[in-house]
């Protein structure tokens, strides 16, 4: 069992419990991809698998799981709500590299600086955030242009011990996802055209940023080449623009 498999299994089980989940199509060739990296006795297999669902209120629930031995494990898990809901994105970036663990967990806001939006979608999880930030030390600098896309309840940490990932980080992940699913349950569709236009613009802003600045681009390009990587990013991981063209 690899480090993040229990996170993914737990999330999928909870989603099944709480939502009427439907599959979300994964483009052919992107369900699973393998490559051998390194040579001779340093050769090892790096596998990336994709998982995706949708539901009445959630346009795309998707995970990319990279497994390449103890020093290379990544679970990037994001929920993109449908464009007629004001729900934030659920964003988890759980990364283990030879340099250590890097954990990003947040309910990423559509409207970062709107006090009413913060009151609706940050305040309710503030007690959870406060509890975990005492256990999980702040991870330090991160790209300045990314700040606009995180909420004040952004959990960002670089645990030294794997046991911290397995216990505190896993617990935080569970509490954040449960809280998110509470919001999904309560969410009412938006019908006001001005608000709908603002949501679409905010979703596109987020999506373009993530596709353009994907921190995994270098890693994927090394393993699987540039063509596969660009298609994976724009055709699956951050696919909203393609879906809008098709609409
Ligand atoms: N990150 C992704 C996807 C990944 C992924 C789809 C499937 O968005 C993995 C894989 N993240 C990944 C890897 C690294 C990071 C780092 C492999 C390490 C890159 C490296 O060191 O080479 C949160 N992830 C990061 C960093 C941040 C995040 C802040 C550090 C980047 C840096 O310091 O340059 N989550 C990530 C992020 C946003 C987010 C940038 C922006 C909105 O939601």
- Would 95 be classed as within a structural domain? yes
At residue 132, the pLDDT reads 98
Look at residue 200 and tell me if it is in a domain. no
Alpha helices in 42-110 (DSSP H): none
Q: What is the whole-number distance in angstroms between the Cα of residue 194 and the centre of ligand 1?
A: 32
Number of domains in the chain: 1
Query: Measured in angstroms, how far is the CA atom of residue 201 from the centroid of ligand 1?
Result: 23
Give domain status of residue 80, yes or no. yes
Q: 130: domain CATH number?
A: 3.40.1500.20
- Closest ligand 1 atom, CA of 48? 7
Task: Tell me the CA–centroid distance for residue 93 and ligand 1, in Å.
Answer: 6
Q: Cβ < 6 Å from ligand 1: which residues? A: 64, 74, 76, 91, 93, 95, 102, 104, 108, 142-143, 146, 149, 210, 214-216, 219, 237
In contact, 34 and 50? CB cutoff 8 Å: no
Confidence of residue 245 (pLDDT cuts 50, 70, 90): confident
Band of the pLDDT at 246, cuts 50, 70, 90? confident
**In the predicted model, what is the mean pLDDT of the chain?**
97
197: pLDDT strictly greater than 80: yes
Average pLDDT over residues 99-110: 98
Contact 61, 87 (CB under 8 A): no
Atom number of ligand 1 nearest to Cα 219: 17
Average of per-residue pLDDT across 153-169: 98
**Residue 224: band (very low, low, confident or very high) from pLDDT cuts 50, 70, 90:** very high
CB neighbour burial string for 210-233, b if at least 16 within 10 angstroms, e if fewer: bbeebbbbebbeebbeeebbeebb
The residue range of the domain holding 115 is: 5-191
The answer to whether residue 240 is domain-embedded is no
SS3 31: coil
- pLDDT at 42 exceeding the cut of 90: no
Is 181 part of a structural domain of the chain? yes
């Amino acid at each position: 069992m690899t480090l993040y498999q229990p996170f993914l299994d737990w999330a999928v089980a909870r989603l099944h419990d709480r939502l009427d989940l439907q599959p979300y199509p994964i483009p052919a060739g992107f369900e699973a991809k393998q490559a051998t990296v390194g040579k001779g006795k340093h050769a090892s297999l790096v596998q990336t698998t994709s998982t995706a669902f949708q539901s009445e209120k959630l346009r795309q629930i998707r995970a990319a799981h990279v497994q390449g031995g103890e020093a290379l494990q990544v679970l990037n898990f994001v929920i993109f709500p449908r464009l007629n809901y004001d729900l934030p994105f659920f964003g988890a970036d759980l990364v283990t590299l030879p340099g250590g663990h890097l954990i990003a967990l947040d309910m990423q806001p559509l409207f970062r600086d709107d006090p009413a939006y913060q009151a609706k979608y940050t305040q309710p999880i503030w007690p959870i955030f406060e509890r975990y930030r005492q256990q999980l030390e702040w991870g330090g600098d991160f790209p300045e242009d990314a700040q606009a896309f995180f909420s004040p309840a952004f959990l960002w940490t670089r645990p030294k011990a794997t046991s911290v990932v397995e216990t505190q980080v896993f617990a935080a992940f569970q509490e954040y996802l449960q809280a998110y699913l509470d919001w999904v349950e309560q969410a009412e569709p938006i019908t006001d055209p001005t608000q709908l236009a603002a949501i679409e613009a905010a979703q596109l802003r987020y999506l373009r940023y993530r596709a353009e600045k994907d921190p995994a681009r270098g890693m994927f390009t090394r393993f699987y080449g540039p063509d596969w990587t660009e298609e994976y990013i724009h055709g699956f991981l951050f696919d909203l623009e393609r879906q809008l063209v098709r609409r």
